């Protein structure tokens, strides 16, 4: 056992310059995969963390054992939302809300750090006057969704108007006073929606990552199989060959995984700055924690080892399998049927389908594309080889037929990205829907009985605050709306609106004056988040795609260095070899990339809010251009490698 | 005899190692020259210098009177592609290409259309005993068969000189002899010269001349070789198609001086494409 491991270690070290380069490439691939995998895991954990930290503001009603009353209201300052939570203890022993060291006494207010700073910065008439209470302390991070979140927690008497009013049950404006047994609450629907989106994004990123990891593992095997087949020929048992392969792949992958954790650590400050739902992330959000990190550190080398075993199956089954390269059996059409089967399921989905189901179907579609890919590549190869007139295309076509899986590995990343781009491109809602709502008219819902009295009070408050405004009454029935339009013709800026908001604050218990633009804020943020998410997912996919294209291109040069060198000695121009290598990547890329985009778009049809729109098209176009340029560039990057490995006039197989 | 290839005073150093210490070699038209010598004596280096693969540190190499060692890599590469043929020990065939396309590849690189190239490639298979193997891939051929495909590929472009570095080094002796005999016959039959590095004295005897290399110096140049043994494989009979009017544009050499080598059965042995294929 130790003898075998020692031998594997020597094989790994003794592989020469090419061998070490191959192992290095594997390690790099594994490191990138690991870093991205950690990112995917952390992103989900981070959204879960946000949901949990926000849950206490989404009260669950309790009857008999209530210890407190809680009301939540959405207020606005500038173009940001402020969450105002009013709490009143019903029992002296009531535990404080999360993030507060004690239960706020009536007449006390606790600010989140960002709100405290804003209160200090802005003129009192624009924000601070809304909170005349005594400052009790600072709301801790454990009760905040993100570091910049604006939250105020006020202590009230249980009998105060704010705690007894029947506010409208509108989730946009807040939650009416609720008797609660504690401040655990439950995750809001919005938070759950974000978690679902994060899960889908993870699937979109994870499958290419797995494919990539597998490719990296086979990269080790590809260079080794010749030698291992030789070992098998001299009598090594299948078990020994497998063990040695696994040992070598796992050693390399473990080193790569550790480097990946370090890489991720370096990237977290950058990733933490990505704003979602109006805010960036706490450093701890993006740290997946020791158990998950350990799990990734163990799982990645294991997966790579497993993938190596699968790649070696042929050598193990027959010691001659690799030494004598036979025509690989043609791939079965079943692969295409798998894709068609998954696609048949897609139309049954809809906007109402559970996110888990959508994620599973997307994952299956992904895997099906991955199954179909090599088959299609083989087909493309046969067509290319049959129609080729020049040597380069003939070489490319024959190579595609010979090892469609290898060719697929090179382009799969970009093809997968095409799928993602197609999916998201159709999914992003039109940008024209939002953004031009009225921001100058604040509306306040008032009981019909008090309309005239409150209209007068509003006028008084506004003129006291020096805000020139017109106050009108609209609506019928029990609730009327006071529409306050700021009328200073010359300049209506955010500051004036905030003065008006502050002036009207507290006039009707539990209600604030909001504009249409305020109410739209959530939608605007969501739209921005979809855009951000798209960019993140596509960036990750492209990173994977291009690194994987570069690595496979380099490894194919290394694999075939002897033949390439001898061809060059016999006078074959390097340009022909490079042209062949280019064609063997770009031809399948064009077909598979285009095909994947179409499949991705098809999968998005049941969910699309609108027809194909300009921003979606732009993203798609950018993807196509970037994909081609990236893969072509990554392939071209190994041209110097080709030159150097073919420069040796006495090439020997290693 | 007209010299096709000539090396004068060839010097090649690798750091402190002097691989060639002033070697001269002259290869006549259609002549088969065996290079022998112990391992590390500089045989491969000599071959590489003559074939324009390496630039010697000193001396000159002339092909048909034209100096080639000073040419730039691009020109030498074109020269190797069109004027020289190569047979290496193994690994020179592209594993994913069928045998006939491996042979056709240099022709296609020279601008011959694919259809013509494959047709001309196929003509070699019969005479070399490879009938029916046109569509097989190198992995599906035996070592000896693969080397015969390599010989066909080396000759397909009708080169002036074929270089072979231990072309049978990876084969057993009997197969090696068969293959080497075919190589010598086929190059002769096509008016090409042959420079072959070998460790096998028997093989060397089939060549016209043996050059002994020792420590980077040519020791001796032994005389003409022994007659070739009779064909022992299923290649069928050899005929004489005679006409080689399309042989290169290296001018008129007059008498080839090589067609007179006899096999043991007394018939002229010439392996030519397209005969009995
Ligand atoms: N690329 C190189 N770098 C350094 N030294 C070299 C290189 N190529 C050859 N040599 C040295 O030059 C000398 C001649 O080498 P060469 O390959 O010509 O020997 P050879 O006669 O072909 O041997 P063999 O029969 O083993 O193939 C040897 O001492 C060898 O070590
Ligand atoms: Mg040698």
* Mean pLDDT (whole number) for A601-619: 70
Is residue A196 a part of any domain in this protein?
no
CATH of the domain at A449: 3.30.70.260
Q: Which residue has the higher pLDDT, B129 or B225?
A: B129
Residues A404 and A534 in one domain: yes
Which atom of ligand 1 lies closest to the CA of B46? 18
Q: pLDDT tens across A338-386, in order?
A: 888 888 888 887 767 777 787 888 888 888 888 888 899 999 999 999 9
Q: CA end-to-end span of chain A, whole Å?
A: 25
Minimum mean pLDDT among A51-55, A89-93, A168-172, A318-322: which range? A318-322
Look at residue A478 and tell me whether its pLDDT is greater than 80: no
Look at residue B249 and tell me whether its pLDDT is greater than 50: no
Tell me if chain B has a CB within 8 Å of the CB of A327.
yes
Q: What are the residues whose beta carbons fall under 8 Å from the beta carbon of A485, sequence distance 6 or more?
A: A440, A441, A469, A470, A472
Residue A129 φ then ψ, to 5°:
-65, -15
User: How far, in Å, is the centroid of ligand 2 from the Cα of A19?
Assistant: 23
Q: pLDDT tens across A283-308, in order?
A: 899 999 899 999 999 988 888 888 77
DSSP annotation of A583 reads: H
Beta-ladder partners of B221: B211
Tell me if chain B has a CB within 8 Å of the CB of A567.
yes
Tell me if chain A has a CB within 8 Å of the CB of B8.
no
Can you list the domains of chain B with their CATH numbers?
Answer: 3-271 (3.40.50.300)
| Separation between Cα atoms, residue A49 and residue A282, nearest integer Å | 10
Interface test with B, best of A569, A649, A650 (most B CBs within 10 A): A569
Can you give the pLDDT at residue A292?
Answer: 92
Nearest CA, atom 16, ligand 1: B42
Nearest CA, atom 29, ligand 1: B40
Taken as a whole, chain B contains a residue count of: 277
Nearest CA, atom 13, ligand 1: B19
pLDDT-derived band at A312, boundaries 50, 70, 90: low
pLDDT-derived band at A121, boundaries 50, 70, 90: very high
Residues A49 and A174 in one domain: no
Q: Pick from A11-20, A414-423, A612-621, B267-276 the range whose average pLDDT is largest.
A: A414-423
| Separation between Cα atoms, residue A278 and residue A533, nearest integer Å | 13
Of A394, A563, A649, the CB nearest to B91: A563
Residues A97 and A245 in one domain: no
Helices (H), A234-329: 238-272, 289-317, 320-323
* Binary contact (B91, A566; C-beta < 8 A): yes
Q: Where does a domain end: A264, A297, A326?
A: A326
Tell me if chain B has a CB within 8 Å of the CB of A461.
no
Cα dihedral value A548, A552, A558, A560, nearest 10: 180
* Mean pLDDT (whole number) for A468-478: 82
Residues A34 and A86 in one domain: no
**Cα dihedral across residues A171, A173, A179, A180: positive or negative:** positive
The answer to whether residues B88 and B163 touch, using CB atoms and an 8 Å cutoff, is no
Q: Pick from A27-31, A54-58, A231-235 the range whose average pLDDT is largest.
A: A54-58
Is residue A519 a part of any domain in this protein?
no
pLDDT-derived band at B265, boundaries 50, 70, 90: very low
Q: Where does a domain end: A131, A150, A185?
A: A185
Residues A408 and A534 in one domain: yes
| Separation between Cα atoms, residue A368 and residue A456, nearest integer Å | 68
Interface test with A, best of B96, B103, B151 (most A CBs within 10 A): B96
Q: What are the residues whose beta carbons fall under 8 Å from the beta carbon of B56, sequence distance 6 or more?
A: B7, B10, B11, B12, B20, B49, B69
Look at residue B245 and tell me whether its pLDDT is greater than 80: no
User: How far, in Å, is the centroid of ligand 2 from the Cα of B64?
Assistant: 26
Residues A207 and A63 in one domain: no
Can you give the pLDDT at residue A538?
Answer: 78
Residues A356 and A319 in one domain: no
Q: Where does a domain end: A127, A150, A185?
A: A185
Is residue A191 a part of any domain in this protein?
no
Can you give the pLDDT at residue A644?
Answer: 81
* Mean pLDDT (whole number) for B64-76: 90
| Separation between Cα atoms, residue A544 and residue A555, nearest integer Å | 16
Tell me if chain A has a CB within 8 Å of the CB of B94.
yes
How many angstroms away from the CA of A17 is the closest CA of chain B?
Answer: 20
Q: What are the residues whose beta carbons fall under 8 Å from the beta carbon of A575, sequence distance 6 or more?
A: none
Is residue A596 a part of any domain in this protein?
yes
Residues A538 and A497 in one domain: no
Q: Pick from A629-638, B193-202, B255-264 the range whose average pLDDT is largest.
A: B193-202
pLDDT-derived band at A6, boundaries 50, 70, 90: low
Ligand 1: residue of B11, B12, B13, B14 to mutate (most ligand atoms within 8 A of CB) is B14
User: How far, in Å, is the centroid of ligand 2 from the Cα of B197?
Assistant: 8
The answer to whether residues A584 and A557 touch, using CB atoms and an 8 Å cutoff, is no
Nearest CA, atom 28, ligand 1: B40
| DSSP β-ladder status, B58-63 and B193-197 | unpaired
User: How far, in Å, is the centroid of ligand 2 from the Cα of B43?
Assistant: 6
| Separation between Cα atoms, residue B117 and residue B101, nearest integer Å | 8
| Separation between Cα atoms, residue B169 and residue B89, nearest integer Å | 6
HSE at residue B136, side-chain half, CA atoms within 13 A, is 15
Residues A456 and A421 in one domain: no
pLDDT-derived band at A436, boundaries 50, 70, 90: low
Residues A345 and A402 in one domain: yes
pLDDT-derived band at A569, boundaries 50, 70, 90: confident
Look at residue A322 and tell me whether its pLDDT is greater than 60: no
Q: pLDDT tens across A42-85, in order?
A: 999 999 999 999 999 999 888 788 899 999 998 999 889 999 99
| Range A575-578, long-range pairs (CB < 8 A, 24+ positions) | A576/A391, A576/A392, A576/A395, A576/B109, A577/A395, A577/A642, A578/A636, A578/A639, A578/A642
User: How far, in Å, is the centroid of ligand 1 from the Cα of A380?
Assistant: 44
Domain count for chain A: 4
- Residue A134 in 3-state DSSP? strand
Look at residue A328 and tell me whether its pLDDT is greater than 60: no
Range of the domain at A399: 328-432+529-545+555-654
Residues A539 and A615 in one domain: yes
Is residue A521 a part of any domain in this protein?
no
Residues A412 and A534 in one domain: yes
The answer to whether residues B166 and B35 touch, using CB atoms and an 8 Å cutoff, is no
Cα A12 to Cα A214, A255, A363, distances in angstroms: 19, 13, 35
Of B54, B98, B154, the CB nearest to A649: B54
Can you give the pLDDT at residue A311?
Answer: 65
Look at residue A15 and tell me whether its pLDDT is greater than 60: no
* Binary contact (A576, B109; C-beta < 8 A): yes
Look at residue A427 and tell me whether its pLDDT is greater than 70: no
Q: pLDDT tens across B133-164, in order?
A: 999 988 889 889 999 999 999 999 999 999 99
Is residue A190 a part of any domain in this protein?
no
pLDDT-derived band at A29, boundaries 50, 70, 90: confident
List all residues whose CB is within 6 A of at least one atom of ligand 1.
B 14, 17, 19, 37, 39-45
Q: pLDDT tens across A199-212, in order?
A: 888 887 776 677 67
| DSSP β-ladder status, B84-87 and A108-111 | unpaired
| Separation between Cα atoms, residue B159 and residue B162, nearest integer Å | 7
What average pLDDT does chain B have?
81
Residue A345 φ then ψ, to 5°:
-75, -30
- DSSP line for A326-384: PPPPPPPTHHHHHHHHHHHHGGG--TTS-HHHHHHHHHHHHHHHHHHHHHHHHHHHHHH
CB < 8 Å to A569, chain B:
51, 53, 80, 86, 88
Look at residue A275 and tell me whether its pLDDT is greater than 60: yes
Is residue A158 a part of any domain in this protein?
yes
Helices (H), B136-200: 143-156, 173-189
Is residue A332 a part of any domain in this protein?
yes
Nearest CA, atom 24, ligand 1: B39
pLDDT-derived band at A438, boundaries 50, 70, 90: confident
Of A395, A569, A572, the CB nearest to B53: A569
pLDDT-derived band at A647, boundaries 50, 70, 90: confident
Q: Which residue has the higher pLDDT, A168 or A30?
A: A30
Among residues A607, A604, A632, the alpha carbon closest in space to that of A619 is found at A604
């Amino acid at each position: 056992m130790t003898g075998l491991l020692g031998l594997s270690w020597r094989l790994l070290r003794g592989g020469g310059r090419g061998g070490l380069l191959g192992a290095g490439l594997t390690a790099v691939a594994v490191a990138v995969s690991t870093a991205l995998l950690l990112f995917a895991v952390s992103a989900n954990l981070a959204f879960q963390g946000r949901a949990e930290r926000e849950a206490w503001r989404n009260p669950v009603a309790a009857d008999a054992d209530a210890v407190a009353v809680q009301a939540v209201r959405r207020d606005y300052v500038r173009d940001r939302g402020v969450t105002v939570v009013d709490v009143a203890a019903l029992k002296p022993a009531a535990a404080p809300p999360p993030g507060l060291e004690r239960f706020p006494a009536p007449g006390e207010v606790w600010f989140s750090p960002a709100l405290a700073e804003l209160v200090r910065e802005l003129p009192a008439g624009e924000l601070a006057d809304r909170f005349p209470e005594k400052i009790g302390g600072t709301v801790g991070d454990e009760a905040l969704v993100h570091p910049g979140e604006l939250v105020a927690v006020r202590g009230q008497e249980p009998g105060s108007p704010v705690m007894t009013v029947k506010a409208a049950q509108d989730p946009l404006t807040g939650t009416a006073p609720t008797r609660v047994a504690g401040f655990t609450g439950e995750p809001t629907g919005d938070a759950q929606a974000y978690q679902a989106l994060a899960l889908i994004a993870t699937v979109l990123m994870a499958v290419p990552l797995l494919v990539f990891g597998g490719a990296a593992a086979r990269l080790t095997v590809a260079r080794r199989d010749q030698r291992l087949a030789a070992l098998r020929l001299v009598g090594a048992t299948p078990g020994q060959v497998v063990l040695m392969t696994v040992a070598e792949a796992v050693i390399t992958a473990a080193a790569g995984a550790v480097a990946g954790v370090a890489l991720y650590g370096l990237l977290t400050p950058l990733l933490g700055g990505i704003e979602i739902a109006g805010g960036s992330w706490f450093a701890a959000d993006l740290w997946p924690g020791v158990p998950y990190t350990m799990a990734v550190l163990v799982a990645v080398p294991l997966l790579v080892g497993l993938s190596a075993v699968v790649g070696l199956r042929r050598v193990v089954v027959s010691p001659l399998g690799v030494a004598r390269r036979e025509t690989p059996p043609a791939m079965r059409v079943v692969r295409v049927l798998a894709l068609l089967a998954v696609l048949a399921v897609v139309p049954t989905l809809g906007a109402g389908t559970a996110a888990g189901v959508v994620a599973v179907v997307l994952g299956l579609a992904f895997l099906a594309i991955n199954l179909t890919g090599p088959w299609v590549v083989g087909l493309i190869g046969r067509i290319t080889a049959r129609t080729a007139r020049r040597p380069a295309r003939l070489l490319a076509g024959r190579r595609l037929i010979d090892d469609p899986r290898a060719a697929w590995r090179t382009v799969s990343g970009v093809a997968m990205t095409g799928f993602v781009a197609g999916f998201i491109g159709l999914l992003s809602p039109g940008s024209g829907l939002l953004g031009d709502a009225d921001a100058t008219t604040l509306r306040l819902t008032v009981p019909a009985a008090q309309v005239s009295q409150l209209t007068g009070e509003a006028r008084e408050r506004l003129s006291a605050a020096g805000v020139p405004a017109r106050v009108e009454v609209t609506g019928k029935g029990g609730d009327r709306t006071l529409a306050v339009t700021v009328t200073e013709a010359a300049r209506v800026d955010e500051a004036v609106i905030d003065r008006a908001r502050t002036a009207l604050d507290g006039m009707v218990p539990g209600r604030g004056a909001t504009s249409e633009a305020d109410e739209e804020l959530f939608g605007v943020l969501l739209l921005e988040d979809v855009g951000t998410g798209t960019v993140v997912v596509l960036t990750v996919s492209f990173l994977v795609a291009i690194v994987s294209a570069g690595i496979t291109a380099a490894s194919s040069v290394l694999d075939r260095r002897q033949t390439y060198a001898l061809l060059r000695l016999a006078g074959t121009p390097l340009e022909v070899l490079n042209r062949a290598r280019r064609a063997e990547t770009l031809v399948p890329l064009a077909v598979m990339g285009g095909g994947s985009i179409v499949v991705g778009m098809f999968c998005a049809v049941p969910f699309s809010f609108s027809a194909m729109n300009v921003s979606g098209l732009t993203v798609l176009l950018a993807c196509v251009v970037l994909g081609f340029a990236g893969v072509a560039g990554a392939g071209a990057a190994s041209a110097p490698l080709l030159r150097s490995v073919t420069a040796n006039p006495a090439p020997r197989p290693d | 005899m007209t010299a096709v290839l000539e090396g004068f005073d060839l010097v090649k150093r690798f750091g402190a190692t002097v691989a060639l210490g002033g070697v001269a070699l002259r290869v006549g038209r259609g002549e088969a020259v065996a290079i022998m010598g112990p391992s590390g004596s500089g045989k491969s280096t000599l071959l590489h210098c003559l074939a324009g693969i390496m630039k010697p540190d000193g001396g000159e190499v002339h092909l048909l009177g034209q100096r080639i060692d000073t040419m730039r890599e691009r020109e030498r590469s074109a020269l190797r592609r069109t004027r020289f043929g190569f047979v290496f020990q193994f690994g020179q065939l592209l594993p994913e290409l069928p045998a006939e396309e491996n042979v056709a590849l240099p022709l296609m690189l020279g601008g011959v259309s694919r259809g013509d190239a494959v047709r001309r490639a196929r003509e070699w298979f019969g005479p070399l005993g490879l009938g029916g193997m046109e569509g097989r891939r190198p992995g599906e051929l035996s070592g000896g068969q693969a080397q015969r495909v390599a010989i066909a590929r080396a000759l397909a472009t009708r080169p002036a000189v074929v270089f072979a570095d231990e072309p049978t080094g990876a084969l057993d002796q009997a197969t090696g002899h068969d293959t080497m005999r075919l190589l010598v016959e086929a190059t002769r039959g096509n008016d090409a010269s042959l420079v072959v590095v070998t460790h096998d004295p028997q093989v060397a005897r089939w060549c016209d001349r043996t050059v002994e290399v020792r420590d980077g110096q040519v020791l001796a140049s032994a005389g003409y070789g022994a007659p070739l043994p009779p064909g022992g494989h299923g290649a069928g009979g050899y005929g004489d198609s005679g006409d080689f009017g399309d042989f290169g544009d290296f001018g008129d050499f007059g008498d080839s001086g090589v067609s007179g080598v006899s096999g043991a059965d007394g018939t002229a042995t010439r392996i030519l494409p397209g005969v009995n294929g």
